[in-house]
Amino acid sequence: MRIAALPIALLVAGCGTPAAPDNGGQSANSTVSEPSNAQAAATAPAPAPAPAPAVPVLTAGGYDTIRIGARPAEAEGYELADDGSYEESCRIYTSPRLPSSYAIVEDGRTMRLTGFQERESGPSPLRTDRGIGVGSTEAEVRAAYTPLQEQPHHYVEAPAKDLFFGGTEREPGLRFEIGADGRVTNVHAGLMPVLGYVEACS
């Protein structure tokens, strides 16, 4: 009986829980580690560049390819042309693409860009990146730009005025002429002292 029982005992011993498969040293309950932030950043796609505005906007530095401080010939697509006005060192340039607008060019460089209201062609299409243009109210200008430096209008009595947003001989700024009705009659971008000229080149 003892000899016969031995194979049965061995058979029972061989039916125990099978050995766990080799998993490279990891326990059965271990989890795969998440990639670090640095690894995720390295594999993440680069953000898409901000789209260009559908319509160019006026800033202190210019409008589209018309740049303050650049030569008129560098304004690609606008065909800026000298209209023959004023003395040799200061000229007025206009473009068929920008009605009711002109550029002041001094010593071969664009120093100011101006938009105004013309009876035949209507208001200039120049509007700033904050939505201000000919016809905007003084309140809209003050809400969009701060701080503003106020000066009396050269020709029209108060409440007409000039409002300057920045502008030095080195850093361009904006100037808004406010009419007696409280609306923008002219908008300018450029460098001082040309930014403050009253009559084009003077």
Give me the phi and psi of 42, to 5 degrees please: -70, -30
In this prediction, residues 38-58 reach a mean pLDDT of 63
- Report the pLDDT value the prediction gives residue 36, as an integer from 0 to 100: 57
Q: Is residue 55 part of a domain?
A: no
Domain that residue 82 falls in: 60-196
| Number of domain units in the chain | 1
Give 96-109 pLDDT, tens digit per residue: 999 999 999 999 99
Q: Is residue 53 part of a domain?
A: no
Q: Is residue 191 part of a domain?
A: yes
pLDDT bin (cut points 50, 70, 90) of residue 119 is confident
pLDDT bin (cut points 50, 70, 90) of residue 21 is very low
Give me the phi and psi of 80, to 5 degrees please: -60, 130
Q: Is residue 9 part of a domain?
A: no
Q: Is residue 49 part of a domain?
A: no
Which CATH number is 155's domain given?
Answer: 2.60.460
Q: Is residue 15 part of a domain?
A: no
Q: Is residue 30 part of a domain?
A: no
157 versus 87: the higher-pLDDT residue is: 157
- Report the pLDDT value the prediction gives residue 37, as an integer from 0 to 100: 56
Give 78-93 pLDDT, tens digit per residue: 999 998 877 778 999 9
pLDDT bin (cut points 50, 70, 90) of residue 8 is very low
In this prediction, residues 109-116 reach a mean pLDDT of 97
CA 99/CA 110 separation, integer angstroms: 17
- Report the pLDDT value the prediction gives residue 44, as an integer from 0 to 100: 58
